[in-house]
Amino acid sequence: MSYCLNPSCPNPENLAHTELCQACGSPLLLQGRYRAIQVLGQGGFGATFLARDEELPGHPHCVIKQLRPAASSPNVLLMARELFKREAKTLGKIGNHPQVPRLLDYFEANQEFYLVQEYISGSTLQQEVRGSGPFSEAGVKQFLSEVLPMIQYIHSQQVIHRDIKPANLIRRTEDKKLVLIDFGAVKDKIDPVKAAASEQTALTSYAIGTPGYAPPEQMAMRPVYASDLYALGVTCVYLLAGKSPKDMDYDPATGEMLWRDYVHVSDHFASVLEKMLEVSVRHRFQSANDVLRALDLEPYMDSLAQSMVTANRPPRSPKSGMGRTIGNSNEMSTSSPTSRIAAAIRARQSRNASDATSLQPGASRHQLLRKPSSSSSDTATGSTSSSRGGSAKVMPRLTAEELLEAYSKGRRDFTSHNLGGLSLQKADLSGASFHQSKLQKTNCQNANLFNADFGRANLNQAVLKNANLARAYLSHADLGGANLRGADLSYAYLSNANLRGANLCGADLTGAKVSDDQLATARTNWATIHPSGKRGFW
d(CA 7, CA 459): 60
| CA-based nearest residue to 172, from 101, 97, 103, 90 | 101
> Phi and psi of 498, rounded to 5°?
-85, 115
**What is the helix (H) or strand (E) element at residue 105, kind and residue range?**
strand 103-109
Query: Is 400 strand, coil or helix?
Result: helix
d(CA 216, CA 234): 13
Could you give the maximum distance between any two Cα atoms of the chain, in Å? 89
From the number of C-beta atoms within 10 Å of its C-beta (0-12, 13-18, 19+), residue 58 rates as: exposed
Listing DSSP states for 140-178 in one string gives HHHHHHHHHHHHHHHHHTT------SGGGEEEETTT--E
Is 163 marked active-site?
Answer: yes
The CA-CA-CA angle for residues 408, 412, 418, to 5°, reads: 100
For 407, left (φ over 0), alpha (ψ -120 to 50), or beta?
Answer: alpha
For 221, left (φ over 0), alpha (ψ -120 to 50), or beta?
Answer: left
From the number of C-beta atoms within 10 Å of its C-beta (0-12, 13-18, 19+), residue 356 rates as: exposed
Beta-sheet strand order (sheet of 103-109): 29-30, 34-42, 46-53, 61-67, 112-118, 103-109
Sign of the dihedral through C-alpha 77, 80, 81, 82: positive
**What is the helix (H) or strand (E) element at residue 302, kind and residue range?**
helix 298-307
Cα–chain center distance at 430? 19
Query: Is 107 strand, coil or helix?
Result: strand
Residue from 53, 163, 182, 508 carrying the catalytic annotation: 163
Q: Could you list the active site residues?
A: 163
